[in-house]
Structure 1
Amino acid sequence: MKNSIAERVNDFLKNYPPFNLLKNEDLLKISTQVSIIYLEKGDTLFKKGDSFNHHFYMVRNGGIALLHTTPNNIQEIINISDAGDVFGVRPLIAKEDYRLTAVANEESIVYGIPINIFETVTNNNAEVYKFLITAFATNSYDPYTAEETGKIFGDYLPNNSQDIVNFQTANYTKKPITCKISSSLKDAATKMSNNKIGCIIVVDDHKNPVGIITNSDIKNKIATGLFPIETPVSNIMNAPVITSKKDLTVADGQLQMIKHNIGHLCITKDGTVNSKLIGVLTHHDVLVTLGNNPSVILKEIKRAKRTKKLRVARLKAKTLIKSYLEQNIPLSHIVKLISQINDAVTIRAIEIALKKMPTPPPVPFSWMAIGSQGRKEQLLFTDQDNAIVFQDVDEDQYEDTQAYFLELAKLVTKSLNKIGFEYCEADMMASNIEWCKSISEWKSQFSSWILNPDDKAILLSSIFFDFNSVYGDKDLIEDLSNSIYNALDESALFFKFLGRDALKNPSPLGLFKQFVFEKNDEEKDLFNIKSRALMPLIDAARLLVLSKKIKGINNTSERFEKLAEIEPNNKELYESCSYAFKALSKFKTKQGLLHNNSGKFIKIESLSKEEQLKLKRCFKPISEIQETLKLRFDLKNFM
């Protein structure tokens, strides 16, 4: 008799890692033993300090908050696990007591996965183990422990970008060119020439690898006359070959190559010479993978002498983002790395442009990134938003000084466009005379926006309030920031205008909790995740930090986290907003990578029901933070 409950569990688990990596029969063995746990909002599944039990968990419905308890007995949200997320993996990986507390963030159903059954059916499955280590690292992140030990992920996931790349599965050639052991060297060499490759694998009748021939062997053994060109391949091949399994990591592959002084590693079905050849990992493959390491990309950027080289380096960062998302590396870590790469690209573009200018800059200046780059939230290629502020000069020198920086900006924005950052349609770029000014002119501009607010002033100032100095004299930016905050003291009306602007996009859900779609012909029936979900959070965070005079924090999620710190009464709301922003940003980025665009417009019908539910869950903090803005800035009669 069929177990219908187990089948329903099975149907759910098979859609999510690591269970989608298992054979059907193995997954069914697990499904029959899964415990189904119902939790009301606020119910505790396990507490920090509890002895580990015999299960780890997956969320079926709802959300589970993982909380860190401070020495002052205050609980802080570290992560919220949604449907399909794995958590509570510490007993499986570390065999020690829980360091976090798991509490239902809403009404939830959780599957308890029995560890003994799971370990039995996943024995020696490296892909499953790698996923669980990553899940463990992501869910067990404890910033307080990190400060004490100097580690982010303990001993289970390396804490620097180089090690993260080494942890990846190596990319090898899946269909290697082979020849039979009975072949002549001439036949093998002809195959190598036709396929434009530097080596060929010699296999027996069972397709097992028995030797390898490289260009070097042909040069040293045939060109020198040691053997005739018609000699059997067995006379000159290197044997035996060194083999490995298909799931080896980059670090494993590199170590084997160093240990055996080889440049090619044969990948076989079971990892031994007595099984079928399925691929070849070369030293070049390892170098290419390592080339997507942030530190290597940054070195390439700093060495680049042409825009073309900068574009190649920045495209590698796109591959890096995809790889990190697939490994469940925390988004905050990804954002910091990519922001560093984006800034490095801009800096190098400016340095290259300065060399093309007829003279050095006439006065100190600073290149400002604004918009998403200024907030350090730019993951995919977007349009440019930038500006220049330069030191004050005498009135009779102003025009010539401004003309110099406008010419410099044209070179830089042209380079950034070639790299992949589109020109701003609204021309909010340093090459526009309106966005290339002296420090005094910029102070006057911001003062005008703040003291005489109108719709245009709010639109422009809201973009420029997220500026960040990328290159040049940072004192100019500090001076400008101080001037802005002094002006804010003189205008309460400005905050009302900013508040009204922050409410221009209400909840992304309409009546009956349905998604609100675009109505114009070009984007009809598409959901604009940027304007309807991300911008309301961006605008709210900006308004609140400005009203609190919080300087030096531009990133939206970090702004909410800082607000949670200084406003304990609203801590839960701000942390929810921070989490929602990161979840929405991650979703937008994944969509952009999937469709090779910005990810801004989403076809909701293409999403699974679980994905739609995850999106909707992120919308609740939007409506709550907007209600807070209405009350705090008295906006109900100012709409």
Structure 2
Amino acid sequence: MNDFPLPGIVDFLKKVVPFNTLPPAALHEAITATRIAFYPVGERMIRMGEPTGDFLHVVQTGCARVSITDESGEELPVDFRGEGDSFGAVSLLKGGNALFNVTAEEDLIVFLIPKAAVDRLLEAHPPFRRHFGFSLARNFKAVRKSADDQLNLLTRDSQVHVDTFMTGKRVRDLMSTEPLSCRRQTPVREAADMMKQRGVGSIVVLNPEGRPEGILTDADLRNKIIAEGRDLDTPVGQVMSAPIRTVSPRAFSFDALLDMSHFGVSHLIVTDGKQTVGIISEHDFQLASGSSPIGMIGDITRATTVPELVDKRIHIDRVLEMAMQRSGSIKPMVALIAELNDRVTRQFIRVIEREMAAQGYGPPPVPYCWLAMGSEGRQEQTLCTDQDNALVYADDSGADDGSVQRWFLELSKRVVDALERFGIPKCRGGIMASNPQWCMDLSHWQKMFAGWIDDPTPESLRMASIFFDFRAITSEFNGARKLKDALTRMAAGKKHFARVLAKNALNNRPPLGFLRQFVVEKSGEHNNGLNLKLRGLTPVVDAARVLALELGVTSTNTLKRLKAATKKKVLRPDFLAAIDDAYDYINFIRIDHHLKAREAGTQMNNFVDPALLNPMERKVLKESFTVISQLQELMAGRYQSWRVQDR
């Protein structure tokens, strides 16, 4: 099958990572030798242990199943590849026979790019080379781990089921097709009867143009009809849940699950362009995996005492560890950790507020907001993290007798202690809301921030690196937004502060020496180790913070800050992609190191001995550190041109 038009291949590949980084001439040269192949459903394209052929396979349409064959000959699926995904790269780049089977899960059209063409692209185009280096090192480890876990689960009794959403499945693999639908004027009685007849828990509500505008679920029937005593002839449009949340059928199922968790919904409408093609629910995930982060969130919000909430930690840890072990990218895992930690913190606050009221402390004296700082504020915390939090409350117009702060310090002490019992250690530096220094009214916070900016000292710069990444955990008081707006105004035009902050950010250099050799610790507890956090991740976090303050960006997340800097033409899009890959990969190695330590029962830390990494991992780690060095060079050039006396 070689009659696919050349312009069609070009149009497709220039939208696919990493081919979208190639100049037009290089892309055209590569595809002149490209072949097109069709594989019907069930056909085996690559067989484990056999030669793969000298081609990189890029999926144009359809879906491929990646699997391993165990000693008994049973095939165990470990990944799925869809439109724009590739396979065969590991064997193509490393040599040797295939590590996995690849079979057409659906009818499949694949572009076959010859090894010689791929080699030329790898040699001449660094972004292309970086992508495959990062992706291979991550995915090789993740897929092999997934396969190992599948084998282990066959031989031991486990109460924790394999989470299907972690094995690369797409929404289309789990969704229900032909969703039940009705119009907004349909009586609830009729809609409920339709749901009963079909045996489903939801019905999609369509607008006059036939597009989804809402959804009626079992929960809506219970909470809005039965509980409120409404007439069953009430039009569906008056009680439906709206607006709806949608997802693409090609999205990874884990991303859909994360959306459900974030928005607090149990159903997503699956749309392809303007067409509704299905619906996916929490129940679909439970059927597929036996466990669900949404189920965990329900457990968290139902807890009514501190001990009950503390008991949820074991189950959360199990699912988080399984999630991390199965993903080729750390971003979804870190997002899930942030979501769960936020929910846990908010529930502790609710429970402890009720306890204090019952004990005679009364309700909060003024509105307040619990703040997350540091990695938690950036939504980038991992398994190896401690508490960084604070509290801001509304300015009290009454007599300043200290009673307001005393109430909030009592709340904060209890919440901090509860979080420690839950397994999140206290900050050794005392950066916690239980410290009177970090539990203040809005005016005092604003004065403190202004002092740090107007007179930057080594200590204030250290504090800024923690506190300027703050984020609201509770939303009853908009103190975080007011404080963020004030910080943005204070930092605007303060070139001296930006320059000093940038200079401070350049103190932690990536651990690469002459001829790009690793520079490891030479003595002490972590001899021969690389500090991945301090020397790899922190330089990126610090650079993003400086750029955000200079450019007036209010987001605290590192990648979002860098994306904003790219939109403002400070960073090139291709360089942003390289930084993103490097940051993600270093974090991936770090999390893998944490998991190994936890499994071995040893203390988790951020030091990795490069001698324990395989050659590919070491090579990609060097590439990652090189990219971060380039970011620091950009920062040095940008801010060292600003004279110290510019204020």
With the shorter chain as reference, the TM-score category is 0.5 to 0.7
2:341 aligned residue:
342
Q: 1:557 aligns with which of 541, 556, 559?
A: 559
Specify whether residues 495 and 581 from structure 1 end up closer, same or farther in structure 2 by C-alpha distance, changes over 3 A only.
same
Q: Which residue of 2 aligns with 1:534?
A: 537
Matched, 1:572 2:593: no
In structure 1, the partner of 2:108 is 95
The equivalent position to 2:618 in structure 1, one of 607, 612, 618, is 612
Q: What is the Cα deviation at residue 419 of structure 1?
A: 0.5
Q: Which residue identity does 1:620 align to in structure 2?
A: T
Alpha-carbon distance in structure 2 between the residues aligned to 1:594 and 1:516: 23
- CA separation in 2, counterparts of 1:528 and 1:293? 34
Aligned to 1:502: 505
Give the Å deviation of 1:348.
1.0
Q: 1:132 to 1:474 in 2, by over 3 A?
A: closer
Partner of 1:319: 318
Equivalent residues, number: 446
Alignment match, 1:631: 637
Distance in 1 between residues matched to 2:494 and 2:86, nearest whole Å: 57
Structure 2's unaligned 5+ residue stretches are 1-45, 63-82, 134-148, 152-162, 172-244, 262-281
1:205-604 matched pairs, under 5 angstroms? 290=290, 292-328=291-327, 330-357=329-356, 358-394=361-397, 396-397=399-400, 399-519=402-522, 521-551=524-554, 553-567=555-569, 570-596=572-598, 597-604=603-610
1:567 Cα deviation from its structure 2 partner: 1.9
1:461 deviates by 1.1
- Taking a change above 3 Å as real, the CA distance of residues 581 and 365 of structure 1, as seen in their structure-2 partners, is same
Q: Which residue type is aligned with residue 462 of structure 1?
A: S
Unaligned runs of 5+ in 1: 1-24, 38-44, 64-82, 112-125, 139-148, 166-249, 256-285
Displacement, 1:545? 1.6
> Which shows bigger deviation, 457-466 or 395-404?
395-404
Shift of 1:298: 0.6
AA matched with 1:345: V
Counterpart residue type for residue 586 of structure 1: F
* Larger Rg belongs to: 1
595-604 or 487-496: bigger deviation: 595-604
364 and 500 in structure 1: CA distance in 2 versus 1, 3 angstrom threshold: same
How do residues 71-82 of structure 1 correspond to structure 2 at under 5 angstroms?
A: none
- In structure 2, relative to structure 1, the CA distance for the partners of 1:26 and 1:473 (3 Å cut) is closer
Cα distance change of structure 1 residues 163 and 375 upon mapping to structure 2, 3 Å threshold: closer
1:374·1:554 contact (CA, 8 Å) conserved in 2?
yes
1:379 partner letter: T
How far apart are residue 313 of structure 1 and its match? 2.2
Deviation at residue 354 of structure 1 after TM alignment? 1.3
Does the 8 Å contact 2:55/2:112 carry over to 1? no
Shift of residue 379 of structure 1?
2.5
Pair 1:27-2:48 in alignment:
yes
- 1:605 is aligned with what amino acid? A
Paired letter, 1:511: F
- After superposition, the Cα gap between the structure-2 partners of 1:98 and 1:493, relative to the gap in structure 1 and judged at 3 Å, is farther
User: Would the alpha carbon gap of residues 137 and 296 (structure 1) be closer, same or farther in structure 2, given more than 3 Å must change?
Assistant: closer
Query: Match of 1:397, SS?
Result: coil
Q: Residues 514 and 60 (structure 1 numbering): CA distance in 2 closer, same or farther, change over 3 Å? A: farther
The 2-side partners of 1:636 and 1:604 are apart by 38
AA aligned opposite 2:429: A
CA shift, 1:484, in A, is: 0.8
Query: Contact 1:590 / 1:599 at 8 angstroms: preserved in 2?
Result: no
Letter in 1 for 2:577: E
Where relative contact order (Cα < 8 A, 6+ residues apart) is larger, the structure is: 2
Change over 3 Å in CA distance of 1:429–1:156 after alignment to 2:
closer
- Which piece of structure 1 moves more, 599-608 or 325-334? 325-334
Question: Residues 153 and 159 of structure 1 are in contact (CA less than 8 Å); yes or no, is this contact kept in structure 2?
Answer: no
| DSSP-derived class of the 1:347 partner | helix
Q: How far apart are residue 151 of structure 1 and its match?
A: 3.1
Contact 1:561 1:575 (C-alpha < 8 Å) held by counterparts: no
| One-letter code aligned to 1:57 | G
Q: Is the 8 A contact 2:303 2:309 kept in 1?
A: yes
CA distance in 2, matches of 1:422, 1:584: 24
- How far apart are the structure 2 equivalents of 1:618 and 1:93? 36
CA distance in 2: counterparts of 1:85 and 1:334, whole angstroms:
29
Partners in 2 of 1:470 and 1:54 — Cα distance?
Answer: 37
Structure 2 CA distance, aligned partners of 1:395 and 1:631?
51
Deviation at 1:134, TM superposition (A): 4.8
Q: Against the structure 1 CA distance between its residues 482 and 86, is the aligned structure 2 distance closer, same or farther, given a 3 Å change threshold? A: farther
**Superimposed CA distance per residue, residues 502-546 of structure 1 (whole angstroms, 9 cap, x where no aligned partner):** 101112212232222234523232211110100001101111122
State the one-letter code of the partner of 2:299. E
RMSD value, Cα: 4.6
What SS class does the counterpart of residue 396 from structure 1 fall into? coil
**Change beyond 3 A, Cα 1:624–1:337:** same
CA distance in structure 2 between the partners assigned to 1:432 and 1:53 by the alignment: 51
Q: Using the alignment, how far apart are the partners of 1:86 and 1:153 within structure 2? A: 28
Q: 1:98 to 1:482 in 2, by over 3 A?
A: farther
Structure 1 residue 602: Cα displacement: 1.5
Distance change >3 Å, CA 395–CA 600, structure 1 → 2: farther
Alpha carbons of structure 1 residues 152 and 332: separation in structure 2 relative to 1, 3 Å:
farther
In the superposition, relative to structure 1, how do residues 326 and 93 fare at CA in structure 2: closer, same or farther (>3 Å)?
farther
Give the superposition deviation at 1:426. Answer: 0.6
The answer as to whether partners of 1:314 and 1:341 remain within 8 angstroms in 2 is no
Give the direction of change, closer, same or farther, for the CA distance of 1:518–1:403 in structure 2 (3 Å limit): farther
How far off is 1:489 after superposition? 2.1
User: How far off its partner does 1:594 sit?
Assistant: 1.2
Cα distance in 1, alignment partners of residues 253 and 451 from structure 2: 51
Alignment CA distance shift 1:517-1:56 (3 Å): closer
Residues 452, 464 of structure 2: 8 Å contact kept:
yes
Amino acid at match of 1:160: A
Q: Could you tell me how far 1:55 is from its partner in structure 2?
A: 8.8
Relative to structure 1, the CA distance from residue 563 to residue 316 in structure 2 (aligned partners, 3 Å threshold; closer, same or farther) is farther
Counterpart-to-counterpart distance in 2, 1:84 and 1:433: 63
**Distance change in 2, residues 1:614/1:314 (3 Å):** farther
Deviates more, 1:484-493 or 1:449-458: 484-493
